[in-house]
Amino acid sequence: MQLEYTEIITANPVQRFLLRFYLSDFPMQNLILISPFVGTLEGSRVTLDGVCRKAVERGILIYVITRPPEEEYHQQAIDTFMSYDQVELRFNESLHAKLYICICQDESQSFALLGSANLTRNSIEKNIEIAMMIYGRGHGREILRELSRWGLERLRTLNDTKLVKKIKCQRR
Amino acid sequence: MDFKEWFCLNGRESFTIDPKVNPDDARFYFGREEIKNRIKAQLRRSFVEPGVPKMVIYGSFGSGKTQTLFHLEYYLQNERPEACRQTPRILHLDLEMHSKSDHKGWHLQLVETLGKSTASTWIDRLFSRTQNLDTELRSIFGNVNMAEAAKNLRAGGDIGLLAWRWFCGYELKPNELERLNVTRSLGDLGSGDMVNALVGIGRLAERNEEKLIFLMDEAEQFKNVKTGDATESLHTYLRKLAEPSNSSVGFIIASYALTLDDMAELLVRADVRTRIGENNFVEIPHLPSIRDVQIFLRELLAELVEQNKAEEKIQNESLGVSLETYPFTAEAFNMLCEFASQDPTKALPRNLIKAVNECAISAWDERKPIIEPDIVNDIAPLIFG
């Protein structure tokens, strides 16, 4: 089902979001990844490393908020994030929300995914997930702004959200 | 203590301003006195009878076009120009155009933004004041079909909805037209007829002591239209709306464009430009000098930081910063202004607000009460570099 600015996605929503990010050519500014659990996504169509590499090539800043890792797969994903200068990483033990936002220079190109899916291979290959993709058109723009403010400002500044890694600036 | 209290924010969660999320933010227009005064002067002039605002503003992403539209609404609602005799009825819409969108789609967006209930209320009020509604409506719309459809807007149920669909430009079936007592659908005679209907609605608003003004954002969407016929129909619709004979429906269109030539071609064709007037094409520029950036940031901080609380905090905690630049130290503030001014094309309100927010979040992470130069040195290159 697709309205003008939202779309309900029941098949591999996280992969749909990542593919849109990975394949789109318009100028992007920020990628916000909010997921309690994160994997490297090795073996799926778009890997976490691929996402980070695109961000480096295109000067996109990535903001990640996840739970502190307890499992090996989660730690490996954290290691991936830690190896990229353009990634900011924060932990919040209470995090349950799953929200992914790509903020583009032209707001009408921005998009977000809000739903049940973690940023893991299980959510792509095994789990039954549902999510809503929101596009920066019409009323979608206001929803995206609210979600961006929540993700980029409110969640990052909660007392129990701890900064793990800052973005390192590549000076020109 | 949370982020808001940490930086003595004035009833808000962050340093972000966004009138779409928080309508009170429409009152802000930091810095840029010259452009603000110029637009307001143009607006005041535009109301000199018989007249309505017809204006196009343009600028790059983040230059503040949307903020300008909301601020102009705030201005018109709170400091109504003397020449504007009626109460402005301001309607916002974000234009949406696709490859085949034509004048019908645009008309539909405009009329739906107004809404059936508003139009019905206006007809109801007119009915209560006049002895002969038919004659009155014919004088307002100057067309029998429009007057008949407008009369039916008073009716509830199917017939009222049918009349509204007629005004929206939907093609109605013969039996539906018969029920409305009209001889054709609104769009049958092309875009001119639709503009006439909209202008008629504008005159209806005037009879109700209101002035209809549309604020249309994202006019770069016109570039999505790829069909020649559709583009021509949109152009005709705009040209007719811009005609001097339309003194009832005002509009301010905002578009992303770095220069006039960068706009959707139909907005800047000679016939449209002469009708709208060259002075009414206004660029919303970046902040051209370091002084402009300083003024913008000082005004922003003065509004978003609760001054009494901040002053108390500065004294109690011996922070050694001035209220004028709080929560930045003077050195950090100047450093931010310098970073922002290095590439003038990046000295944009959106970037400045983002920089202030990110610097504050960085200080919050380290539980520092003030923003020092090392933080600006980390953050500013990410945004202005």
How many folded domains does chain A comprise?
A: 1
What pLDDT, in 10s, does the model give residues B107-131? 999 999 999 999 999 999 999 998 8
Q: Which residues pair with A104 in a beta bridge?
A: A28
CA distance B181 to chain A (A): 34
Provide the edge-to-edge strand list for the sheet that holds A99-104.
Answer: A6-9, A131-135, A111-115, A99-104, A28-34, A61-66, A87-91, A162-165
With contact defined as beta carbons under 8 Å apart, do B304 and B319 qualify? no
* pLDDT-wise least confident of B17-31, B240-254, B352-366: B17-31
A170 belongs to a structural domain: no
Q: Which helix (H) or strand (E) holds A126?
A: none
**Omega cis (within 30) before B381:** no
Q: Using CA atoms, how far apart are residues B375 and B297, in angstroms rounded to an integer?
A: 17
Q: Which amino acid is at B207?
A: R
Is 60 exceeded by the pLDDT of residue A1? no
Residue B159 CA to its chain's centroid (Å)? 33
The answer to whether the Cβ–Cβ distance between A142 and B378 falls below 8 Å is no
CA distance A126 to chain B (A): 37
B33-283 CATH choice from 1.10.510.10, 3.40.50.720, 3.20.20.150, 3.40.50.300: 3.40.50.300
State residue A172's pLDDT score. Answer: 44
For an interface test with A, the pick among B17, B22, B61 (most A C-beta atoms closer than 10 Å) comes out as B61
Helices B191-207, B116-129: axis angle to 10 degrees equals 50
All residues at 6 or more sequence positions from A59 whose CB lies less than 8 Å from its CB, including other chains:
A86
State residue B143's pLDDT score. Answer: 92
| Residue found by looking up tokens 């100028």 in the block | A27
- Note the ipTM here: 0.85
Q: Which amino acid is at B313?
A: K
Interface membership of A169 toward B (CB under 8 Å):
yes
Side-chain-side CA neighbours of B305 within 13 Å: the count stands at: 28
Q: Which residues pair with B254 in a beta bridge?
A: B57
* Structural domain for A129, as ranges: 6-165
With contact defined as beta carbons under 8 Å apart, do B121 and B201 qualify? no
A172 belongs to a structural domain: no
Q: Using CA atoms, how far apart are residues B55 and B278, in angstroms rounded to an integer?
A: 9
With contact defined as beta carbons under 8 Å apart, do B201 and B118 qualify? no
Interface membership of A76 toward B (CB under 8 Å):
no
**Number of CB pairs < 8 Å for A and B?**
54
Within a 10 A sphere around the Cβ of B5, how many other Cβ atoms?
A: 11
The answer to whether the Cβ–Cβ distance between B14 and A149 falls below 8 Å is yes
Task: Specify the length of chain A in residues.
Answer: 172
- Closest Cβ opposite residue B13 in set A4, A145, A153: A153
CA distance B251 to chain A (A): 19
A51 belongs to a structural domain: yes
The answer to whether the Cβ–Cβ distance between B361 and A4 falls below 8 Å is no
A126 belongs to a structural domain: yes
Q: CATH number for the domain including A41? A: 3.30.870.10
Q: Which amino acid is at B289?
A: S
Q: Are strands B87-94 and B210-217 parallel, antiparallel or unpaired?
A: parallel
What pLDDT, in 10s, does the model give residues B314-338? 999 999 999 999 999 999 999 999 9
B207 versus B22: the higher-pLDDT residue is B207
User: What average pLDDT does the segment B124-143 reach?
Assistant: 93
Q: Using CA atoms, how far apart are residues A83 and A71, in angstroms rounded to an integer?
A: 19
Is 70 exceeded by the pLDDT of residue A88? yes
Q: Using CA atoms, how far apart are residues B325 and B332, in angstroms rounded to an integer?
A: 9
What residue segments make up the domains of chain B, in order of their start?
Answer: 3-17+287-384, 33-283
What pLDDT, in 10s, does the model give residues B46-83? 998 778 999 999 999 889 999 999 999 999 999 999 88
DSSP string, B90-156: EEEEE----TT--HHHHHHHHHHHH-HHHHHHHHHHHHHH-S-HHHHHHHHHSSHHHHHHHHHTTS-
Encoding tokens for residue B145? 């079909």
Interface membership of A125 toward B (CB under 8 Å):
no
Q: Using CA atoms, how far apart are residues B325 and B149, in angstroms rounded to an integer?
A: 59
Encoding tokens for residue B150? 């407008």
Interface membership of B14 toward A (CB under 8 Å):
yes
Encoding tokens for residue A135? 């596009």
Within a 10 A sphere around the Cβ of B130, how many other Cβ atoms?
A: 13
A1 belongs to a structural domain: no
Encoding tokens for residue B285? 């520029």
Within a 10 A sphere around the Cβ of A15, how many other Cβ atoms?
A: 20
Encoding tokens for residue A116? 């049940």
